[in-house]
Structure 1
Amino acid sequence: MLGLVLVFAMPFAWMLSTSLKTLPETMIFPPEWIPKHFVWNNFTKAWGSGPFLHYMTNSIIISIGILALQMLTIIPAAYAFARYRFRGSGLLFGVVMVTLMIPSQLIFLPVYLQLSAWKLLNTHLALILPFASSAFGIFLLRQAFKQVQEELLEAARLDSAKEWQIILKLMVPMVKPVLATFALFSFIAHWNDYFWPLVMTTDETARTLPLGIAKIREEEGVANWNVLMAGNMILVTPILIVFFFAQRHIIRAFVYTGVK
């Protein structure tokens, strides 16, 4: 376990170490893990290389907006696939699963043309609407909903509970760890997304933090790895904070699935 932790933690440790070095120290071979002088000014340079507060605000709006829409769509869809048998349900679920195999890079052109026709380019909606649902989220929640005993739903219906009440007051609280796990995966994926914001934006209006990091340019023909790593530390810090608060739910999700 310790070896596995080291494998995953080493890139973060190296990124932090590089972000605190001088530029000549980043070129030393063999590399040194501990900087001789801690250069905190690298973070100031990275933050001042562009409107980083604007980029971060856009990233927060877009990541949370996507997550909110996904919750509105995947929860009822997963409940329907898990608890109802209707004509064509198997085929529809198969279509949902097929979309997992289609990368966004393959369909970006027709989506781009449609959003352009709607005059939504360079807006937050252009980066939110294409991800308003998630096939992975539907699959994950469907499996969790299927594990809830049918007797609980029948008891709720006998108490005159409507379907939306069953979903919100019974099903969602019972699969809260799974929802938290999906929320974390979704947040990380869209917080780090570089391709879609690059395609859908041509100015600074709706550009996100990964694009801001990419704008840290070379000076005098030499890559400023220390400043770049400082920018990447700014990028990953919110993810680490979210993971710190969500890890308890992730563990419970795996335990819940394993016990059931």
Structure 2
Amino acid sequence: MRRRSSSSLVSSIASHAVLMLGALVMLLPFLWMALTSLKPPQEIFRFGLHILPEQWGGAENYGRVFSDTPMLRFLVNGIVVCSAIVVLQVLIAVPAAYALARIPFRGRSLFFSLILISLLVPIQVPSLFLYLGFAHAGLLDTYASLVLPFIISAFAIFLLRQHFLHFPQEVIEAARLDNFGEFEIAWRIVLPSARPAIGAFAVFSMVAHWNDLYWPLVVVTDPAMATPPLGVVFFRNQESGSDFGALMAAATVISAPLILAFLLAQRTFVRGLTSIR
């Protein structure tokens, strides 16, 4: 018994040490970014490794972020675009996933296979055709051009389908006997049980589209319509890439909402991932 308890203790300590080391490796770039945003330029380029700033330049760096660029506008654009994408993705994915999971129809396996294959297609493949379409429609530099290419999410359909497959079939049959329609069953009965999965997907989607630089760089030229990463690019161009303190301050401001959102939704995120079989 003592050998087992001691071996389990050693195993627990080793696993926690590995996890803490991995967490440190993941957090180190963010810590370095935040500390650099607090340093004046002479300390950033000083020879040697100096982790903590000796002179605080954070007020000047963060002040320049909000005075030299419309940072609040960038953040609002990011919130509007990411929220619209997530809401539309869920609205489309729920009935599609329910149909693939619970409604037998001809070609269902083929449709699901095509959805899985579409996960392998990056946005760079259809980007030229999408750009020409939005340009012809006069939708460049608009929220529509930033949102519409992403409203159908193959990952959301796959994730919710896997969750719906394990929903009790007896409950669905009972609802059908009570004259519930399929849409009503999907939205009123099946969907509430999938809230953790939707929460997990929302975290994935928000992070992906908040950090997306490629597509906004293609369809946006007006700084007033820039999303947060594109706003940093405009800020870098404006500063000629020399004021790294202000650049790191801008990156910190842009990263903070995602970190805060994940900390608030981490329980839902973990529950959503662990509930999928």
Conservation of the 8 A alpha-carbon contact between 2:40 and 2:245: yes
Could you tell me which residue of structure 1 aligns to residue 184 of structure 2?
Answer: 165
CA distance in 2 between counterparts of 1:18 and 1:30 reads 14
Could you tell me which residue of structure 2 aligns to residue 37 of structure 1?
Answer: 55
Letter in 1 for 2:32: W
Q: Any gaps of 5 or more consecutive residues in structure 1?
A: none
CA distance in 2 between counterparts of 1:77 and 1:167 reads 10
Could you tell me which residue of structure 2 aligns to residue 252 of structure 1?
Answer: 271
Could you tell me which residue of structure 1 aligns to residue 242 of structure 2?
Answer: 223
CA distance in 2 between counterparts of 1:222 and 1:250 reads 36
SS of the equivalent of 2:223 reads: coil
Larger radius of gyration: 2
CA distance in 1 between counterparts of 2:43 and 2:242 reads 13
1:199 to 210, 218, 221: 218
1:132 to 139, 151, 159: 151
Between the two proteins, the alignment pairs up a number of residues equal to 258
Could you tell me which residue of structure 2 aligns to residue 64 of structure 1?
Answer: 83
* 1:222 to 1:248, Cα distance in 2 relative to 1, 3 A: closer
**Pair 1:103 & 2:122 matched:** yes
Could you tell me which residue of structure 1 aligns to residue 253 of structure 2?
Answer: 234
Shift of residue 204 of structure 1? 2.5
Q: Any gaps of 5 or more consecutive residues in structure 2?
A: 1-18
CA distance in 1 between counterparts of 2:187 and 2:219 reads 35
Conservation of the 8 A alpha-carbon contact between 1:123 and 1:205: no
Could you tell me which residue of structure 2 aligns to residue 2 of structure 1?
Answer: 20
Shift of residue 256 of structure 1? 2.2
Shift of residue 46 of structure 1? 1.6
CA distance in 1 between counterparts of 2:224 and 2:139 reads 12
CA distance in 2 between counterparts of 1:53 and 1:221 reads 21
* 1:104 to 1:222, Cα distance in 2 relative to 1, 3 A: closer
SS of the equivalent of 1:216 reads: helix
CA distance in 2 between counterparts of 1:6 and 1:56 reads 28
SS of the equivalent of 1:153 reads: helix
Shift of residue 219 of structure 1? 8.6
SS of the equivalent of 1:93 reads: helix
Shift of residue 218 of structure 1? 6.8
SS of the equivalent of 1:32 reads: coil
Conservation of the 8 A alpha-carbon contact between 2:71 and 2:231: yes
Deviations 1:75-132 (A, max 9, x none): 1111111112211111111111111111111210001111111111111101111111
1:140-179 equivalence runs, <5 A: 140-179=159-198
Conservation of the 8 A alpha-carbon contact between 2:207 and 2:258: yes
1:27 to 34, 39, 45: 45
CA distance in 1 between counterparts of 2:92 and 2:140 reads 23
Kindly report structure 1 stretches of 4+ aligned residues shifted beyond 3 Å: 217-222
Letter in 2 for 1:180: G
Shift of residue 233 of structure 1? 0.5
CA RMSD of aligned residues (A): 1.7
Conservation of the 8 A alpha-carbon contact between 1:25 and 1:35: yes
CA distance in 1 between counterparts of 2:67 and 2:80 reads 21
Letter in 2 for 1:6: L
| Greater displacement, 210-219 / 139-148 | 210-219
Shift of residue 211 of structure 1? 1.3
Deviations 1:18-39 (A, max 9, x none): 1101112212343222111222
| Greater displacement, 33-42 / 193-202 | 33-42
1:79-118 equivalence runs, <5 A: 79-118=98-137
CA distance in 1 between counterparts of 2:83 and 2:275 reads 26
